[in-house]
């Protein structure tokens, strides 16, 4: 295994993270801190990405045999994957410092006005009902002015606050950082074991415990959300099936909770057939899933291009690491922001199906934006 285990714990590695000089990735298996850049993978798109990474491992002559970084949503856009000069991993995050209990604060605020998004959802529903496609994921982006912004404290707050299972701060170069806390595992490979956890079907949480429980129970019974989830779960299972034996796919989804959202999730596991198929190869075979794109994918991509007034960049892509042994973890890049000299762009999306209500989808995306806005200390952007 090329990822060395540090004598420090995850809290120490988080403290050592410096935006612009290092990248950090926190998962249930530990904290990974990548410092500096030894080699960068020059990518031209998704199609031959695993081969390009394998080529770098074969020629870079560096003892660190791991890449870390992010892959964008668009299949023809360049990724940001690097072999770091130094790589440290801690098995656990460690004890969390005191964190203010403000993660659900935005749930009680009205949805952030966005008439353009409401209109786009309404048009998508019309097109779905006319048979153009069956599902599309439409996103929103907020631009925030943030002179002198340092991503590192926000990344630490996200990791300690339980905002997502996978927390990341990835150096994109040029003074830009991709940061966020994703609840969704695209795919992981550890030895022979492959796992994925597609999420689709969501509802904002409530600060009132009784109402929160009612919403969770309602999500499990929602025909619209169960329908939406089936698209994502079946697509991931079909994508993994050629590479795995003993693939186990739950017959029904279960609830996944973040401080701001309830999600429907399906934990899918299997055993890799060919050990030469890396985690990155599996991830590129799955990306993008219906949970961030739609069904069928070609028509959904076309709708996204027509209905979203911005370039997604790394939002709805994948973020994580892969090593020369084929192991790795890749999360779906949601609940995220891109920070740079021009400011902060914060993203959130929602799955649109025939039964979607535009104003309900506006409320859902506002709640999802709340993950990053709360961590940033932004409570009023209307």
Beta bridge partners of 138: 350
Strand-strand pairing, 318-323 and 328-332:
antiparallel
Report the pLDDT value the prediction gives residue 22, as an integer from 0 to 100.
Answer: 98
Decide if 83 is inside a domain.
Answer: yes
**For the domain that residue 264 is a member of, what is the CATH number?**
3.60.120.10
- Residues 49-65 have pLDDT tens digits of 999 999 999 998 899 99
Residue 205's closest CA among 298, 120, 98, 103? Answer: 103
- How far apart CA 254 and CA 256 sit, in angstroms, is 7
Report the pLDDT value the prediction gives residue 102, as an integer from 0 to 100.
Answer: 40
pLDDT band at 68 (very low <50, low <70, confident <90, very high): very high
Report the pLDDT value the prediction gives residue 65, as an integer from 0 to 100.
Answer: 95
Hey, is 308 helix, strand or coil? coil
SS3 for 53-76 is HHHHHHHCCCCCCEEEEEECCCCC
Decide if 99 is inside a domain.
Answer: no
Task: Taking residues 137-152, report their average pLDDT.
Answer: 94
Strand-strand pairing, 166-173 and 176-182:
antiparallel
What pTM did the predictor assign?
A: 0.93
Of the candidate ranges 42-46, 226-230, 280-284, the one whose mean pLDDT is the lowest: 42-46
* CB-CB neighbours of 241 under 10 Å: 12
Catalytic machinery residues: 135, 184
Report the pLDDT value the prediction gives residue 238, as an integer from 0 to 100.
Answer: 97
Decide if 1 is inside a domain.
Answer: no
* Percent of the chain surpassing pLDDT 70: 93
- How far apart CA 320 and CA 380 sit, in angstroms, is 31
Burial class (CB in 10 A: 0-12, 13-18, 19+), 101: exposed
Residue 113 DSSP one-character state: P
- How far apart CA 161 and CA 371 sit, in angstroms, is 10
- Residues 161-190 have pLDDT tens digits of 877 789 999 999 999 999 999 999 999 999
Decide if 232 is inside a domain.
Answer: yes
Q: Which residues contact 298 (CB under 8 A, 6 or more apart)?
A: none
- How far apart CA 288 and CA 283 sit, in angstroms, is 9
Q: Which domain holds residue 28?
A: 10-93+113-376
Decide if 4 is inside a domain.
Answer: no
> Domain tally for the chain?
1
Q: CA angle 158-167-193, nearest 5°? A: 145
Decide if 271 is inside a domain.
Answer: yes
- How far apart CA 140 and CA 365 sit, in angstroms, is 7
Residue 185's closest CA among 167, 197, 195, 170? Answer: 197
Q: How many residues does the chain have?
A: 382
Residue 81 CA: distances (Å) to CA of 42, 53, 63, 319? 8, 8, 17, 9
Higher per-residue pLDDT: 99 or 90: 90
Decide if 106 is inside a domain.
Answer: no
Decide if 103 is inside a domain.
Answer: no
Up-side HSE of residue 151: CA atoms within 13 Å toward CB? Answer: 33
Q: What is the DSSP track for 316-376?
A: TSEEEEEETTS-EEEEE--SEEEEETTEEEEEEEEEE-TT--HHHHHHHHHHHHHHHHHHH
Report the pLDDT value the prediction gives residue 164, as an integer from 0 to 100.
Answer: 74
- Residues 83-93 have pLDDT tens digits of 999 999 998 77
């Amino acid at each position: 295994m090329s990822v060395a285990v540090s004598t420090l714990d995850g809290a120490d590695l988080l403290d050592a993270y410096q935006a612009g000089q290092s990248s950090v990735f926190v998962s249930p298996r530990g904290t990974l801190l990548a410092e500096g850049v030894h080699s960068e993978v020059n990518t031209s798109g998704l199609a031959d990405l695993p081969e390009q990474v394998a080529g770098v491992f074969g020629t870079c002559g560096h003892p660190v045999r791991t890449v870390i970084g992010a892959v964008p949503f668009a299949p023809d856009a360049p990724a940001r994957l690097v072999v770091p000069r130094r790589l440290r991993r801690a098995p656990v995050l460690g004890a969390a410092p005191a964190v203010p209990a403000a993660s659900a604060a935005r749930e009680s605020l009205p949805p952030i006005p966005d008439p353009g998004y409401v209109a786009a959802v309404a048009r998508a529903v019309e097109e779905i009902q006319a048979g153009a496609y069956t599902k599309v994921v439409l996103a929103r982006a907020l631009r925030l002015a943030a002179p002198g912004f340092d991503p590192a404290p926000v990344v630490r707050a996200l990791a300690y606050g339980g905002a997502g299972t996978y927390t990341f701060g990835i150096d994109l170069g040029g003074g830009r950082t991709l940061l966020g806390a994703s609840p969704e595992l695209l795919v992981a490979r550890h030895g022979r074991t492959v796992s994925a956890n597609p999420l689709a079907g969501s509802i904002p949480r409530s600060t009132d415990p009784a109402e929160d429980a009612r919403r969770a129970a309602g999500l499990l019974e929602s025909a619209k959300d169960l329908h939406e989830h089936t698209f994502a779960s079946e697509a991931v299972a079909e994508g993994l099936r050629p590479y795995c034996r003993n693939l186990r796919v739950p017959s029904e989804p279960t609830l996944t909770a973040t401080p701001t959202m309830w999600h429907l999730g399906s934990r899918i596991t299997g055993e890799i057939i060919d050990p030469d198929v890396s985690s990155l190869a599996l991830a590129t075979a799955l990306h993008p899933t219906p949970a961030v794109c739609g069904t069928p994918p070609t028509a959904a991509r076309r709708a996204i291009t027509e209905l979203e007034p911005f370039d997604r960049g790394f939002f709805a892509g994948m973020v994580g690491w892969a090593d020369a042994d084929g192991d790795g973890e890749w999360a779906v890049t949601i609940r995220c922001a891109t920070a740079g000299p021009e400011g902060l762009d914060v993203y959130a999306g929602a799955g649109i199906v025939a039964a979607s209500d535009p104003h309900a989808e506006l409320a859902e995306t506002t709640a999802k934006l709340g993950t990053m806005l709360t961590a940033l200390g932004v409570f009023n952007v209307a």
